Structure 1
Amino acid sequence: MLKKAIIAGVFSIGLILSGCGQTGDQPAVGKGKLNAEQVLSEVEKASGKLKNYEMTAKMDMEMEANGQTMKMPSTITSQIQLDPLLVHQKMNTENNGTPINLEMYVAKDEIYVNSQNQWVKMKNEGTTELIKATENMNPSKKIEQMKKFAKDLSLNEDKDNYEIKFSGKGDSVKDFAKEMITENLEAKQAEALKQQFDKMKINEISFGYTIDKKTFYPTKVSLDLNMDIGENGQTAKMKMKMDSTSSKFNELKDLSIPDDVKKNAKEVSPNNVAG
């Protein structure tokens, strides 16, 4: 249960951080020198009229437990429309060296998933981590969350970009990690995970945003996480690295679920997929 929640939470972090703060409108510039909190506020303002964007992410996750090592390298490409909600996502990953290719469409009321050349359909009942993550795709929610930790953020800049970074280790970053990991889980899993945080050791966590000065688009996001997880007297070690880029802000054509996908999909229960 704990391992599943951690993995789901980490993938949610990747998705949500990658989409954090995108916009198609240009906020006012020429405000003089800004600090980290002010830059986040500008990004938050700019996100208000976001309609759609595209995100690509590369994630490498490694988990050691019970003498076994599980590696999950993943590449994710997402096209995201916020209103009405529709996410088209393709993910290439591995399980013990076996390639896994997934494609999915997530809408407000339904989800379509293609695995091994078979489309399945399920109701979007808010029962899976993916659903919770897509419901929080609006970037202003994540920016507001980050502003709680503004005093711990560092800001560097060059001619064209701002770079916001957060890094730390040990108990000093546990609150930050707890907030980021549990926000995009189901309520029961989030509560269970929060109760386990005293058994966790954050060896290191860091992330960074590269933000275009002219548009306040976060064009690149990076995340590194290294932690130990206590479970039933044993310790699992987890490492995760994610790098993503976002583009095509408000440039995507209207997204829709293709008719042939709807026609050929077999309806299943969300519980059968979410496990």
Structure 2
Amino acid sequence: MRTKRYAIGIAALLAVTMLAACGKNDNKPAESPSASPSASVSASPSASAPASPSASAPSAENSKLSAAEVFDKTIEALKPINSYNLSSKISQKMTPANAETITNDISMDMDLVNSPLSFKQLTNITSNGVAQNVEMYYTKDGMIMKDPSSGTWMKLPQEQTDAALAGMNQDDINPSKEMEGLKPYAGDLKLEETDKAYIVKLDASGEKFNEFVRQKALENLQNLASENPDFKIHKVDYAFTIDKQTYLPISADINMNFDMEFSGQQMAVDQKIAIDYSKFNEIKEIVLPDEAKSAVGASQ
């Protein structure tokens, strides 16, 4: 059970960390969250993205941008973004030393408003063939969730809410702040482009990325921090698809393979993350469904 808890926890950590690193504005309808970089590029840029002055056609100047310059422009484009939708899929295999592999498939659809912080999150977790759906809201009423077993809506106690929100301060969930965390590796970025999108790629393999991954883990999972885990990165590939007109992210694909050790336990992790982004600044407010307002302690 302990190992399974870490399997779910690390999956959630990497979903939040890597998608935020990509630009954390997200959630396209769940029709195609597993799009690969090539599939994402073939689609037209998100119709919901705010128009930019250069929205007519890519200029000759744009075509000469470096990968680092595109990354910087995306950071700037994300700064005024206060809300977005994120759709993600995670396929993960975790193999503890001398134990059978744990397989997790996680899909998440999230509407998020940065200020004041509020969100709606729908998550489906299938672990070794056992599925569970979780529906959760965080608003001025607190954190309200539907019990997966009984279907009853309940309000989490403050201490549980605080634990769930740990690490989700404004800087942590601000897309541009998270992307800035990758700027020390700007020299490792590679750029490809199509008529409508840039594809910024990063091979984040090697010793120099170990501390980056470790710090992100400690920031986002307090229960993991107490274990003081060590990470050894074998392979991490990023591909960020960015709208050429708006410089806002369309999608991200992250493939990673690493070893982690905590409390004397070793675990090999292999996972693929696919993220779609949409509804930039379209979400004005997170509203509880009527049936959730009956949760114990929730405001009416």
TM (norm. structure 2) is 0.76
Instruction: Tell me the equivalent position of 1:255.
Output: 286
Q: Note if 1:121 corresponds to 2:165.
A: no
Distance 1:36 1:62 in 2: 31
Segments of structure 2 that go 5 or more residues without pairing to the other structure are 26-47
Contact 2:71 2:200 in 1 (8 A): no
Q: Which of the residues 169, 177, 192 maps onto 1:141?
A: 177
Contact 1:27 1:46 in 2 (8 A): no
- Give the counterpart of 2:113 among 67, 77, 81: 81
Give me the whole-angstrom Cα distance separating, in 2, the residues matched to 1:13 and 1:180: 9
Structure 2 distance, partners of 1:225, 1:168, is 9
Q: Distance in 2 between matches of 1:24 and 1:170?
A: 35
Aligned residues: 262
Identity over aligned pairs, percent: 27
What is the SS of the residue equivalent to 1:260?
helix
1:33-62 deviation line (CA, Å, top 9, x unaligned): 222222122112111221322111111111
Q: Who is 1:46 aligned against?
A: 77
State the structure with bigger RCO (CA 8 A, min sep 6), 1 or 2: 2
| Corresponding residue number in structure 2 for 1:163 | 199
Q: How does 1:120-269 map to 2 (within 5 A)?
A: 120-123=154-157, 127-133=162-168, 135=170, 136-186=172-222, 189-190=224-225, 192=226, 195-197=228-230, 200-231=231-262, 233-252=264-283, 254-263=285-294, 265-266=295-296
Distance 1:4 1:173 in 2: 25
Give 1:103's match in structure 2, choosing from 135, 141, 160.
Answer: 135
Query: Is the counterpart of residue 91 in structure 1 residue 123 in structure 2?
Result: yes
Across the aligned residues of Structure 1 and Structure 2, the Cα RMSD in angstroms comes to 2.9
Runs of 4+ aligned residues of structure 1 deviating over 6 Å after TM superposition are none
| Contact 2:166–2:221, Cα closer than 8 Å, also in 1 | no
- Structure 1 residues without counterparts, runs of 5 or longer: 269-275
- Counterparts of 1:6 and 1:100 in 2: how far apart (Å)? 14
Displacement of 1:211 after TM fit? 0.2
Q: Which has the higher strand share?
A: 1
